[in-house]
Chains A and B, each alone.
Chain A
Amino acid sequence: MKISYQWLNEYIDLSGFTGAELAEKMTRGGIEIDEVESRNKGVTGVVVGYVKSREKHPDADKLNVCKVDVGTGEELQIVCGAKNVDAGQLVPVATVGAKLPGDLHIKRAKLRGVESQGMICSAKELGINDKLLPKEQQEGILVLPPHTVIGTPIEGVLGLNDEVLELDLTPNRSDCLSVIGTAYEIGALTGREVRIPEPAIAHASERTDSHVQVTISAPEQCFHYSARYIKGVKIGESPLWLQNRLIAAGIRPINNVVDVTNFVLLEYGQPLHAFDADQVKSGRIDVRLAHEGETMLTLDDQERRLEPHMLVITDGEKPIALAGVMGGANSEVTGDTVNILLESARFDGGTVRKTSRQFGLRSESSIRFEKEVDPGRVIPALNRAAALITELAGGLATEGIVEVTTAPAKQQVVEVALAKINRYLGTSLSSLEVQTIMNRLSFGYSVSEEDVFQVEVPSRRGDISYDVDLIEEVARLYGYDNIPTTPIFGDVTPGALTKPQAIRRELRKRLTDAGLHEVISYSFTGPERTQLFPALSGESTKAVKLSMPMSEERSVLRTTLIAQLLETAAYNRNRKNESAVIFEIGSVFHTEEEKLTRLPQEKHRFAALLTGNRVEPQWNRKAAAVDFYDAKGVLETVFAVLGITDKVSYAAAQPEHFHPGRTAAVQLETEHGTEVIGYVGQLHPTLQLESDLADTYVLEIELAPLYQLAGDEIVYKALPRYPAMQRDIAVVLDMGVPAGELTALAWQTAGELLESVRVFDVFTGEKLGAGKKSVALSLVYRHAERTLTDEEVTELHGKVVAGLEQSFAAELRK
């Protein structure tokens, strides 16, 4: 909302406050002022002039030579290029020495040989937003109305000695969507008195109800409808003072009647509508919901197809206005209008909001109805408008108001105890201090002996219905700065992370310490990305779709993290960051339902992507490209940190979009048995190529099962007191036998005397024969309570060797 400082000043004395000071005071009081803008964009030395004559320039077709009287007694000769300049006009004249916006200095000049002693100005040249002016005024010079006094400085004539405050209102303070409402707010902040003008209506002797009848057929959507009838108006331009007020607020002047309705809308915050009464059949008004399939032509010349939730004003048959949103073309006030039917009503905010949204028609009027208008201003605004119309457009208002009320406004009384105010704020205000604040707010009240306030809230403050609403009023007028600063009184509570939070933090720390970078990607993605990696994105579940996405590539919720990491890797590759070792911890979303009836599954996951080099080449170090075992190593580190290494195993797997020979399912032993919690592997070469990436390895696992299993307390194990014995073996066997099975067999066979087994070499070669490989194991044996004898170990180790030979047709290498 834009409000003129000078207009406010008419209702409350603003002396002692510049626009900026007022803005600061209001902002600190809770009404944020975004901007204070001077209406004068740099105009000095421009006065009203009278064009006495206009002649063609002797040497230029498009120029005129005008003789202009600017009230100094001396006639000025001014060359003017505007088409619309003519003798007999009153115009703004920038005299020699004048300044115009854009740092333009007016000097004596010769135009094509003819001397020019100044410049006749257009609205634009005076820094006025010419979009708010009629078309003819936009194209040429600004022609001022008759009776404007010659020689008067233009700043006063056009209201440029003014500042405009731009209010950024919170939704609860729609009371400040009006000059009067804002004046009350300033009154509360400054303690000064608000003065509202008393409307004086020129009356005819006839009664209004002989011209207008009103019925409300939609009482849920229309709470109050009032009308006046004004006969014999003469439609014309509004006086400049009125136009200036509207322009300051960013509203385009149209004609005296429409301008008055807009003026009162700004003044009272009550939207009004003027019908051409002769187009309203037999003066009948019925407010009802639209019929299915009904249409109407609105003021903007659009044919609107109405729906049954929309509220319309009808003449008993057809719609003549879309209630609170826009008038109908069929009852529009035009230059020929003589009789006016003036509407002031209170419509349901939600109804207006829905209609205005649907048609994309948000107006000064709909904005106010949406936030609910003040029930106490429906009639005063109607009277004020009638008075102004009779004053400015002539005509007489008929006697009385025709009105129907379906939901009378009740006086809101809210009770609050002084003790509660102080207890709630931590203050020690006296009853008198609170009374002073109530007085400044112009709230009526009584106080009991126990200092309980019964406050009669004025209807303009529809936001106040709870005691805490009054406490806020007290707090903000007392000043938030004056409320003390205290520590919370009471028990000391221990703060802590939950276990999942602690786990995620630990992983973040360990992984970044190991050189991985954490990323956060968007939760929204394109549908094709949710089709990737079905083993992780859910084979039996679907992606969750947004109902109105901003774009196709951000239209569904991610079903995997690695699809997003691929996007990040590609983004970095395009910026020549070709090596990336990144991870993300976040949620993915799966649902079984086509259309959600309950919340989708949100799964916390951990994912990583490795591409390019793990080690960048340096003078003393060769480049090392990432490989499967780097990716697997990330997982092993994670499980080691969580202390669950012995619950995890890996099995070769061929999930879609992974390299079929370089991918493992990650298996976890839980109380429900062995569960696959994710995959680690190389990206399928086809997908790698499509993404334009080098060899890329990815992994993604569920975190929920780890939250359960991880984080047992560390229990110290006594250091060994007896020596260990190490035995190394190398066996030759079929290439297809996984090394994991050899170590598993060693554990099984050797039992608890085996302390560790480590694969220390794997190789293939011609010497071994085709399809064969050599695997070398190092086994360490130890007894906790005594020294093992050589014979014991030899026997045990022999069993392991025999087991390997039998189970895997392994040959011991000598």
Chain B
Amino acid sequence: MKERLEALRGEALQELQQVDNPQVLNDLRVKYLGKKGALTEILRGMGGLSAEERPIIGQVGNDVRAAIEAVIEEKQAIFQQAETEARLRGETIDVTLPGKALPTGAVHPLNKVAQEIEDIFIGLGYTIAEGPEVETDYYNFEALNLPKNHPARDMQDSFYITDDILMRTQTSPVQVRTMQAMKGKPIKVICPGKVYRRDDDDATHSFQFNQIEGLVIAPNIRMSDLKGTLLQFAQQMFGSQTQIRLRPSFFPFTEPSAEVDVSCAQCGGHGCRMCKQTGWLEILGCGMVHPRVLEMGGYDPNEVSGFAFGMGVERIALLKYGIDDIRHFYTNDLRFLQQFARM
């Protein structure tokens, strides 16, 4: 009987080696191990064995079954893997086709730049003040030390609505309103917003543009503080290597006054097309608040001092992105706007 079992093992293993599809494998499993299979058939004869032989033959029978099952399992695994592989091959897709992207809109580049500037000053402890775009002559000019007939009014030709009401030409009237509201308390604000000046539109001029001005008033504010503030701003805005340079200038509401250049980020100050070979870009006007302006705002120039600065958002955006025509900001071509949809 033992011999028959061993023979069965040999026959089964040999036959199993030949199997090349799962159907045949299953048939062989039934043939050898099924209820009516060859192994069962042989082991039925165990009843005729002696009590000593029975466990020995039983053990052989189990060994044969285990050996056949092991091969079947091994074969099954191979067939399963092949089947899975075949199925996955059928599921192949073209990964180069475009996906379903989430929509990406864009904050307008002027607001993108303005927000960046605002965030720098918020980090420096400034709050943000706003005021009306239509202003009185008093807030726009007189309270800023520009009485009627002052020659400096030439510098900013205005859009008047009546003799006394006009489109603000600068965001400085917000400074005056802030001073009046703060009633002598220290101030640290920036004032962003739209301003309007009579200018024929071309690639570098627009009758409507955006300014951001800053105002700091407290006891003992010094011009060196102004320089420190502007350097810190410039380095955050244009890169940590940025240098600033102040040139004496004139604004009716500040004294001393200065124009501020930053070193050209494009060429690092060596001179290039962007900075017209000078290494410097003019981006800011600033100065120490004029005592007349302090007085008109309700502050005593003997008690406090202050500085103010102002910059054009368009100018900075033009430089930052290398835009060649200021009119793009207001015609809003979607192909232009889309370019600012990323960080």
Contacts and interface: CB of A to CB of B under 8 A. Distances in A.
A716 interface: no
Q: How large is the interface on B (under 10, 10 to 19, 20 to 34, 35 or more residues)?
A: 35 or more
A493 B229 CA distance: 14
Interface in A581-624: 581-582, 587, 589, 595-597, 599-600, 602, 618-621
A483 B207 CA distance: 36
Contacts of B198: 550
Contacts of A737: none
A548 B159 contact: yes
Interface string B227-264: 11101100000000000011111101001111000000
Contacts of A554: 207
Nearest to A513: B105
Interface in B308-343: 329-335, 337-338, 341
Contacts of B125: 492-495
B216 A483 contact: no
Contacts of A587: 133
B253 to A, nearest CB: 12
Nearest to A370: B151
Contacts of B107: 508-509, 512, 518
A476 B248 contact: yes
A490 B228 CA distance: 14
Contacts of A511: 105
B133 A602 contact: yes
A493 B223 CA distance: 20
B229 A488 contact: yes
Contact of A171 (B124, B155, B196): B155
Contacts of B122: 495-497
B128 interface: yes
A372 to B, nearest CB: 8
Contacts of A468: 255-256, 288, 290-291
Nearest to B188: A493
B106 interface: yes
B248 A521 contact: no
A602 B134 CA distance: 8
Interface stretch (A236-244, A423-431, A788-796): A423-431
B40 interface: no
B288 A488 contact: no
A489 B220 contact: yes
Contacts of B104: 512-513, 515
A577 B98 contact: no
B213 to A, nearest CB: 16
A30 B247 contact: yes
A52 B104 CA distance: 84
Given A488-B221, A571-B333, A546 B248 contact: no
Given A426-B225, A520-B330, A466 B165 contact: no
A583 to B, nearest CB: 9
Contacts of B127: 493, 495-496, 498
Contacts of B149: 349-350, 353-354
A489 B111 CA distance: 31
Contact of A618 (B98, B126, B159, B200): B98
A598 to B, nearest CB: 8
A767 interface: no
Residue of A28, A370, A516, A522 ringed by the most chain B CB atoms within 10 A:
A522
A139 B330 CA distance: 49
A521 B332 contact: yes
Given A508-B111, A618-B98, A577 B333 contact: yes
A508 B109 CA distance: 12
B47 interface: no
A488 B225 contact: yes
Contacts of A557: 134
Contacts of B133: 523, 587, 589, 602
A472 B291 contact: no
B45 interface: no
A113 to B, nearest CB: 51
A571 B222 contact: no
Interface string A478-514: 0011011111111111111110110001001101111
A60 interface: no
Residue of A174, A472, A497 ringed by the most chain B CB atoms within 10 A:
A472
A142 interface: no
A495 B121 contact: yes
B91 interface: no
B151 A349 contact: yes
Contacts of B148: 350
Contact of B246 (A27, A370, A481, A501): A481
B208 interface: yes
Contacts of A484: 224, 227
B162 interface: yes
A30 B106 contact: no
Contact of B161 (A424, A490, A509, A544): A544
Contacts of A522: 208, 330
B246 to A, nearest CB: 4
A496 B189 CA distance: 10
Contacts of B121: 495
12 contacts: A29-B248, A30-B250, A371-B151, A426-B222, A466-B291, A475-B248, A483-B227, A497-B128, A522-B208, A575-B335, A596-B165, A602-B134
Interface of B: 97-98, 100, 102-108, 110-111, 115, 118, 121-128, 130, 132-136, 148-152, 154-155, 159-162, 165, 167, 186, 188, 194, 196, 198, 200, 207-208, 216, 218, 220-225, 227-229, 231-232, 245-250, 252, 255-258, 288, 290-292, 305, 329-335, 337-338, 341
Pairs A-B, 3 closest by C-beta atoms: A515-B103, A426-B224, A30-B248
Interface of A: 27-30, 32, 170-174, 349-350, 353-354, 370-371, 423-427, 466, 468-469, 471-472, 475-476, 480-481, 483-498, 500-501, 505, 508-509, 511-524, 544-550, 554, 557, 568, 571-572, 575, 577, 580-582, 587, 589, 595-597, 599-600, 602, 618-621
